[in-house]
A and B are shown apart, each in its own frame.
Chain A
Amino acid sequence: MSYEIIGIVVLWLFLFGYIIVASIDFGAGFFHAYSVLTNKHHIISKIVQRYLSPVWEVTNVFLVFFFVGIVGFFPSTAYYYGTVLLVPASLSLILLAIRGSYYAFTTYGKLRSKFWTYLYGFSGLFIPASLSIVLTISEGGFVEEDNNELSLQYATLFASPLTWSIVILSLTSVLYISAVFLTWYANKAKDQPATDLLRKYALIWAGPAIITATGIIIELRTHNPVHFQRMLDLWWMFAISGILFITTVYLIWQKRSYGLAFFLLTGQFFIAFYAYGISHYPYLLYPYLTIDEGFTSEGMAIALIIAFIAGFCLLIPSLWLLLRLFLFNKDYVEGKIK
């Protein structure tokens, strides 16, 4: 495998990790805010807090890892995306900042007010929406280059159905992923009312998530036929992903093996996400930047990969410890120890 492929596969993995953990986080915040709005917060707020408390900072690092890594492996992305994304990325940053600090302020600082809860919950939906714009832009057609100056065509971007379907996909999948995970978590906590409520949410959001995902593939047919064709070549990956989706929903419907259901859901998104990534190859930004052109020097690539392997050996045991202490610890999950 060439270095650039290793690089992009690793980065894609971290982006995937971010999407899963952040979705759980964003969705949890939203469900919490929604439950306050409808006076049901006594049912789920404990579950949400118990899970989020020890892990919120870790979630953020996944994102940092991705954007630092991509600039390391593909320095030209800093130039192209950096120039183009000033406004959307700055807005995402502000939302992320509000959310992250809110969490600490309320949980550790006991700054409680409904205003902040709503801000937290709803900002959690705007963040995936604004971050997903990057995926849209990468499809090409929204960036213009003249006199060596790049600019984002906002009008085209906001008028494009592709933009909005990707935004909606990000929202529905956030809510779906989060609901499935929290159903499992609540069930482990032996909290029946919360399990029932979250299971209902999971079933509600399953449909919209799969419909929008399919919609985007169709959207691409007109927007970026090259990409569309490459996706068709990978039909079998999307098929596996679809089967995993159906199994997940079936299990939840049957109120069975929520843990397995979440595992399958991760598999579904993993395969679809990589299928999307592979079909996007070789472009980082269609049609300006490909993986080969944007790649860093060989010396740096080797250094980064070595650093990555070393870092990984450090991280995996630590993450495992975190999960063991909080996610898989029966007493903690059930609230018997703090």
Chain B
Amino acid sequence: MESEQAVFYSRLLTELTLSFHIIYATIGVGIPFLIFLAQWLGIKKQDEHYILLARRWTRGFVITVAVGVVTGTAIGLQLNLLWPTFMELAGHVIALPLFMETFAFFFEAIFLGIYLYTWDRFRDQRKHMLLLVPVAIGASFSAVFITMVNAFMNAPQGFELANGELINVEPLVAMFNPAMPTKVSHVVATAYMTSAFVLAAIGAFRLLRGSNHIYHKKALLLTLKVGLVFSIASAIIGDFAGKYLAEYQPEKLAAMEWHFETEEQASLTLLGFLANGEEIKFSIEVPYALSILAHGDPNAEVIGLDQFAEDEIPPLYIHYLFNIMVIIGMITMIIALFYIVGNALNRTFVKNRFFLWLIVSSGPLSMIAIEAGWWLAEVGRQPWVLRGILRTENAATTSNHVDFMLLFFIGLYLVLGLASVIVLTRMFKNNPVERELLDQQRNGR
């Protein structure tokens, strides 16, 4: 009984920490790249506005990095505390990317420190900009490496189990597992996409709040272009992720598509909800679509939930998570497309308040998609921590103080979340772009 409770609270605490960390981590992966883009444009076009954009984004970025770092440190240690059995096993096989991730952080941390304090030290602005390259590479590679670990949990390979002992460990084979290509690229692309929409949302919000400065319009166009590119990329890679699932984790695909019977020419279930367990209501059925999604062939056979033991089927609510993610992906893509086209054709609807509010919503929406995507991926792997090898309930700690720790961490995340929001709003409210531009002119720059 006690150990069941420990599992329950360990899950809760893991979910909480990861869901909180991923907000800051996603921003941390994407924003350095966008800052780089802005600074590069600024130097190329000799346009003060882009430089200022880079400067202001950096200032906000430091705050999110700080929270990303502390929550990341928390999750890194917590995985050992809450899932000791899992980490012992994982340590043998998948420690390499985890280890390399710390190097990526290290690299990023050093150059971020330098970048922040050297805005006015170089006569040649381009040198300063180059300092961002290691920051962006470090940030993106920390996502790449940690996602490799997560991919391994979904498609473990690179070792053999003999009498409970791990033998013939091949770290590189474990790293480059079948889940890795789609997972890593989807995570990185969605991080860029989300960061772009979050920044676009801020720009649109300033415009709504009465600022009419060309600065915000430039920001909006830049970020929405990036957002469009990466939302298209995310959708394409997401499709490949579905094909990966069909081949290697059919139970996850079947559960997220509510595909109960194995069949050929399978149709795709959109929306809907589940009544009395297995009855789907109010859904839209698209003929052949699931076969196409899973195998790229309308006649292909798609494995259904009937092929799996009752206790190896993931919770069916992941269907909702999948739909949320995909719908948000579509909505944000359309918003970005409309803005860019409307802007190019000089249409006035792009200045419309309603449309601006839509752009504002794209930031939080993409973040929701990130959360939904991760919950889909992780809950869809249940009941396994390491698919097919280690069940979640056998991996958790046996310590019985997890519930207290959960309370502490809830408190901590509340404080961190609130404080970061307060600090960020104050930072930009007290120092609007208009004033900063004036100050710069006065200082003769």
Contact = CB atoms under 8 A, between A and B. Distances in A.
Contact of B103 (A54, A71, A81, A311): A311
Contact of A105 (B59, B121, B423): B423
Interface string B93-104: 101101111110
Interface stretch (A159-167, A185-193, A232-240, A317-325): A317-325
Given A83-B397, A105-B66, A94 B87 contact: no
Given A86-B402, A111-B422, A296 B91 contact: yes
A85 B120 CA distance: 46
Interface string B77-112: 110111111011111110110111111011101111
A303 B98 contact: no
A299 to B, nearest CB: 5
B287 interface: no
Given A75-B95, A101-B66, A108 B77 contact: no
B110 A86 contact: no
A224 interface: no
Contacts of B112: 57
B84 A109 contact: no
A82 B395 CA distance: 12
A86 B80 CA distance: 9
A60 B63 contact: no
B236 interface: no
Interface hub of A63, A79, A150, A321 (most chain B Cβ within 10 A): A79
Nearest to A318: B110
Interface in A89-115: 89-91, 93-94, 96-98, 100-101, 103-105, 108-111
Given A58-B110, A318-B111, A300 B80 contact: no
Nearest to A311: B103
A97 B73 contact: yes
Given A58-B110, A338-B120, A90 B409 contact: yes
Given A64-B73, A300-B169, A318-B107, A109 B63 contact: yes
Contacts of A1: none
B213 to A, nearest CB: 23
B89 A83 contact: no
Interface stretch (B193-201, B244-252, B332-340, B412-420): B412-420
Contacts of B89: 75
A75 B87 contact: yes
Contact of B65 (A63, A67, A90, A104): A104
Nearest to B84: A82
Given A71-B95, A100-B66, A111-B422, A64 B105 contact: yes
A303 B96 contact: yes
A60 B69 contact: yes
B171 A75 contact: no
Given A86-B402, A338-B120, A101 B59 contact: no
A61 B109 contact: yes
A336 to B, nearest CB: 11
B405 A299 contact: no
Contacts of A78: 80, 84, 87-88, 91
A63 B170 CA distance: 27
Contacts of B326: none
Query: Which size bracket describes the interface of B in this complex?
Result: 35 or more
A53 interface: yes
Nearest to A58: B109
B62 A104 contact: yes
A288 interface: no
Given A96-B70, A315-B106, A319-B110, A149 B398 contact: yes
Interface in B395-410: 397-399, 401-402, 404-405, 408-409
Interface in B380-407: 397-399, 401-402, 404-405
A100 B73 CA distance: 10
A87 interface: yes
A74 B111 CA distance: 30
B92 A296 contact: yes
Given A87-B401, A93-B78, A61 B102 contact: yes
Given A57-B113, A64-B102, A75-B95, A89 B81 contact: yes
B16 interface: no
Contacts of A87: 399, 401, 404-405
Contacts of B102: 61, 64-65, 68-69
Nearest to B99: A72
